[in-house]
Amino acid sequence: MRRVRARVHGRVQGVFFRAETRSRAQSLGLAGSVRNLPDGTVEVVAEGEDDRVGSLVDWLGRGPAGAQVERVEVVEEQPVGESGFQVR
């Protein structure tokens, strides 16, 4: 199991980033959440099988159509056994 907290920078708000992230995470069987932060970034917390979390992190570097991702900062965390994936 792997858990990451990622902060996505660029044009990532107002382009369905949260909804697409939730859809992608759910299709990968991941738990966690996604939310907009006041500074214009998006924060994603994802937990699940290592390769599936890696797949989501790779996708965060591109994002949905309309997004312009400049960079993604990823911090590894201890898994907590979270379930479900939510937009906050």
Which one of the listed residues 2, 18, 22, 24 is annotated catalytic?
18
Is 36 noted as a catalytic residue in this protein? yes
| Residues ≥6 apart with Cβ < 8 Å to 20 | 63, 64
Burial class (CB in 10 A: 0-12, 13-18, 19+), 14: exposed
Which one of the listed residues 5, 7, 11, 36 is annotated catalytic?
36
Is 2 noted as a catalytic residue in this protein? no
Catalytic residues: 18, 36
